Amino acid sequence: MSAEQVTTRRESAVGAGVSTLDRIGYRLQRLPLHLVIIILCAIWLVPTVGMIINSFRSVQDMGQSGWWTTLFPPHGFTLDSYKQVLNIEGVAPSILYSILITIPATVIQLAIATMGAYAFAWMKFPGRNLFFIVIVGLMVVPIQMTLIPVLQIFKLIHISGTIPAVWLAHSGYGLPFEVFLLRNYLGGLPREIFESAEVDGAGHAVRFLRIAVPMTIPAIASLTIFVFLGIWNDLLVALTFLGVSPYRPFTVVITGLVTSFGGGWQFLTAAAVLQMSLPLAVFIFLQRYFVRGITSGSVKG
């Protein structure tokens, strides 16, 4: 994805010093390849671009003609959809609630996961392998398998329908994967550094805070982006634990609007653009971390 990664194998079939005619023939031969790629890219780009364009049109226009008609004058761009969406009761607060759910949930689970991963990577204890195998297994357990009992726990301790309850739920669901990934990363750090720190009399607290955490920052950074977006985009957990609460996050509120407006749902394009603008900004500006998070999680795992 990033520039340094691109080691394209293009034109490896043509050596240096071939005639112009050969080169033209080669170009022609590759024409189908470029066509296929351009068509694929169009299929993956056009839907998003179309919707973003639509979000800047009036609801009336959206109901009468496709987004492509706006490409030709008169364009008729307007921010009406955005105004309409933000004026619906509960929409603006729901954006705030999404933030208030996402940031603490991310911080809590990564703090706990880093600490647990350190124990699994650098301490020996009976049952370590068994515990870790359970964690590997939990990574694929569908959260549907946990919703009802967790709901009951929240009711029992009287926090159901609150934002902190959702932090806890997300933290529990996210931990197995994070502990797994961070333990692999921490375990890959050079043993000598920890050993010499130990010789110098540094206890585990110092070794963890001064050596392990700073050296794990790249992995934690990738994971943070990943976890943050996962929670920001989450629907199922929020719907289950906050579905009827006043603190519904953005995704739940949008979903409610999609299903309740039979016709005239077009202005929700603006809501979708607002919802996805954060993930897209993160992707565009932190692309390298983002992609690294994905590849390290899957290829090694």
Partner 1 sequence: MDQIITAVVAVVGVPLVLLGYIILGEQVIERLPDKLQESIRPYFWALPAIGFATVFMVYPVVRTVVISFRNSDDTDWIGLANYKYFVTFPDTLTALRNSLLWLVFYTSISVFLGLVIAILLDRVRYESLAKIAIFLPVPISAVAASIIWKFMFDYQPPGTPQTGTLNAILGLAGRDPVAWLVNSTTNNAALIFVGIWTITGFCMVIISASLKAISSEVLEAARIDGANEFQIVRLVITPLLWPTITVVGTTMIINALKTFDIVYVMTNGAYDTDVIATRMFSQLQSAHYGRAAAVGVVLFIAIVPLLIVNIRRFQQQEEQR
142 in contact with partner 1 (CB under 8 A): yes
Name the minimum Å distance from CB 92 to partner 1. Answer: 14
Among the listed residues 31, 156, 199, 299, the single contact to partner 1 using CB under 8 A: 299
Phi, psi dihedrals of residue 34, rounded to the nearest 5°: -65, -40
Among the listed residues 25, 76, 90, 137, the single contact to partner 1 using CB under 8 A: 137
Q: Tell me the window of 19-27, 75-83, 143-151, 192-200 that interacts with partner 1 (CB under 8 A).
A: 143-151
CA distance 190 to 196: 11
Closest CA to 249 of 100, 85, 108, 144: 100
The set of residues, in sequence order, having a beta carbon less than 8 Å from that of 283 and lying 6+ positions away, is: 290
Q: What's the CA dihedral at 85, 86, 89, 94 to 10 degrees?
A: 110
- Would you say 210 and 256 are in contact if contact means Cβ atoms under 8 Å apart? no
CA distance 166 to 245: 11
Name the minimum Å distance from CB 87 to partner 1. Answer: 18
Smaller CB separation from partner 1, 21 or 157: 157
Name the minimum Å distance from CB 208 to partner 1. Answer: 7
Binding footprint of partner 1, residue count (CB under 8 A): 128
- Site residues for partner 1, 14-73, by CB under 8 A, read 33-34, 36-37, 40-41, 43-48, 50-51, 54, 62-68
Region of residue 203 (left: phi > 0; alpha: psi -120 to 50; beta: else):
beta
Name the minimum Å distance from CB 289 to partner 1. Answer: 12
Smaller CB separation from partner 1, 79 or 243: 243
- Site residues for partner 1, 106-125, by CB under 8 A, read 107-109, 111-113, 115-120, 123-125
Helix ranges, 141-162 (H): 147-156
97 in contact with partner 1 (CB under 8 A): yes
Which residue matches tokens 């890219």? 41
Among the listed residues 216, 248, 251, 289, the single contact to partner 1 using CB under 8 A: 251
CA distance 231 to 252: 12
Name the minimum Å distance from CB 156 to partner 1. Answer: 12
- Site residues for partner 1, 157-176, by CB under 8 A, read 163-164, 167-169, 171-173, 175-176
Q: Tell me the window of 72-80, 83-91, 189-197, 278-286 that interacts with partner 1 (CB under 8 A).
A: 278-286
Element (H, E) at 252: helix 250-260
Among the listed residues 208, 222, 224, 242, the single contact to partner 1 using CB under 8 A: 208
Among the listed residues 89, 191, 205, 214, the single contact to partner 1 using CB under 8 A: 205
202 in contact with partner 1 (CB under 8 A): no
Region of residue 90 (left: phi > 0; alpha: psi -120 to 50; beta: else):
left
Q: Residue 109: exposed, middle, or buried by beta-carbon count in 10 A (0-12, 13-18, 19+)?
A: buried
Name the minimum Å distance from CB 231 to partner 1. Answer: 11
Name the minimum Å distance from CB 27 to partner 1. Answer: 12
Residue 280 in 3-state DSSP? helix
Site string for partner 1, 178-197 (x = CB under 8 A): -x-------x----------
- Would you say 287 and 1 are in contact if contact means Cβ atoms under 8 Å apart? yes
- Would you say 160 and 241 are in contact if contact means Cβ atoms under 8 Å apart? yes
